[in-house]
Amino acid sequence: MAATDFKDYYSILGISKTASPEEIKQAFRKLARKYHPDVNPGNKQAEANFKEVNEAYEVLSDPDKRKKYDQYGQYWKQVGEGGFPGSASPDMGGFDFSQYGSFNDFLNELFGGAAPRTGRQSYSYRTSTGRPGGSYGGFNDFGFQDVGAGAVQDSEAVISLTFAEAFAGVQKRFSLGNETIEVRIPAGAKTGTRLRVRGKGQVNPMTQQRGDLYLKIELQPHSFFQIEGDNLVCEVLITPDEATLGAAIDVPTPDGNVNVKLPAGVRSGQSLRLRGKGWPLAKGGRGDQMVKVAIAPPKDLTPQEREYYEKLRAIRTYNPRSHLAQVKL
């Protein structure tokens, strides 16, 4: 290694060479917060600083690595490979690293995790914002969970789809830094649906392992349809005479208009079921479409219409409120 390639880990963390393990930990946490990629999205310099801070902490928090680094400087790695003879180790301030099963165990305690120190542990940081990379909310917001060997970092992004795209399925293209990926979203996605894209998450700066990208679906509002469970729901306005006498009306569905028969005497708010006209199901087939009818009296009447409505009122015998006369406290 050339002298110009030497990294002063103490200078990177902003501490003295006599810093205690606790001081090293505190310095690391402060700088990791400052340079974390979630705090500095798209900032390459911050990303490089974050990697250097992690590298410095990994060395200085390990008594054996720190001892070699203090003694041999830029050649400390060769010591670990047997390239240099050993010598007396410096005072480590009484810090006992042997209590940890691995560096991940030490990270777990550093970030406040509660996983046991025995066995092989690894953790996943899952972000929660609408773009790859997520948002940072402080180190205590890290979500640690055992996901098998090798530390990985998953990302979550929100993708907005139209009803037509979600109903039929769609191919979407994403830009992840310098990489462009295409993802096929299957038919029937709904708001809250999460799709996993393997190996397209964040890169762990310490292990260089890449996590997964989770796409969370959000549907854009539709002017006519809504989704309730596996069913499509819509509201159709009908006239008073259609409600009274019954009628055949055209109702939009994802497959086009269908003719629906209204029974005589249908009430406002009543729903009619169109079987198999709803949202695509994950197991195949489709849900139903529920057509809610609402009686809409005309606002502007012609003189003739007003005349007939007045005649109808004069001869009407039905009183839908007759039972209210018996209502008492």
How distant is the alpha carbon of residue 148 from its chain centre?
21
pLDDT attached to residue 99: 53
pLDDT attached to residue 80: 52
pLDDT attached to residue 249: 96
How distant is the alpha carbon of residue 226 from its chain centre?
22
Amino acid identity of 77? K
Residue whose C-alpha is closest to residue 104's, from 138, 54, 70, 140: 54
pLDDT attached to residue 5: 60
Could you tell me the pLDDT band of residue 2, with boundaries at 50, 70 and 90? very low
pLDDT attached to residue 62: 87
> Which residue's entry shows tokens 């009447």?
301
Enter the tokens of residue 49: 């600083």
> What's the start-to-end Cα distance of the chain, in Å?
93
Phi, psi of 63 (to 5 degrees): -55, -40
pLDDT tens sequence across 207-248? 778 888 899 999 999 999 999 999 999 999 999 999 999 999
pLDDT tens sequence across 174-190? 787 788 888 999 999 99
DSSP state of 326: G
Supply the angle between the helices 63-72 and 44-60 in degrees, to the nearest 10. 100
DSSP state of 234: E
Residue whose C-alpha is closest to residue 9's, from 66, 89, 64: 66
Amino acid identity of 197? V
Residue whose C-alpha is closest to residue 234's, from 316, 291, 312: 291
pLDDT attached to residue 293: 96
Q: Give the whole-angstrom CA distance, residue 8 versus residue 18.
A: 14
pLDDT tens sequence across 55-106? 888 889 888 888 888 877 766 676 555 443 433 333 333 444 445 454 445 4
pLDDT attached to residue 177: 74
Instruction: Transcribe 303-319 into DSSP letters.
Output: HHHHHHHHHHHHH----
Give CA torsion, residues 132, 135, 139, 141, to 10 deg: -90
**Kind plus residue range of the DSSP H or E element containing 50:** helix 44-60
Q: Which of 32-46, 235-249, 260-274, 293-307 has the lowest mean pLDDT?
A: 32-46
DSSP state of 185: E
Q: Which domains, ranges and CATH numbers included, belong to the chain?
A: 1-99 (1.10.287.110), 123-221 (2.60.260.20), 226-319 (2.60.260.20)
Residue whose C-alpha is closest to residue 272's, from 238, 240, 296, 321: 238
Rounded mean pLDDT, 195-200: 89
Average pLDDT, the chain: 78
Question: 137 Cβ partners below 8 Å, 6+ apart?
Answer: none
Rounded mean pLDDT, 299-315: 94
Question: 231 Cβ partners below 8 Å, 6+ apart?
Answer: 278, 279, 287, 288, 289, 290
SS3 state at 14: coil
Handedness of CA 157, 163, 165, 169 (dihedral sign): positive
Contact between 268 and 295 under an 8 Å Cβ cutoff? The reply is: yes
Instruction: Transcribe 74-100 into DSSP letters.
Output: GGHHHHHTTSS---PPPP-TT--GGGS
Q: Are strands 256-262 and 247-253 parallel, antiparallel or unpaired?
A: antiparallel
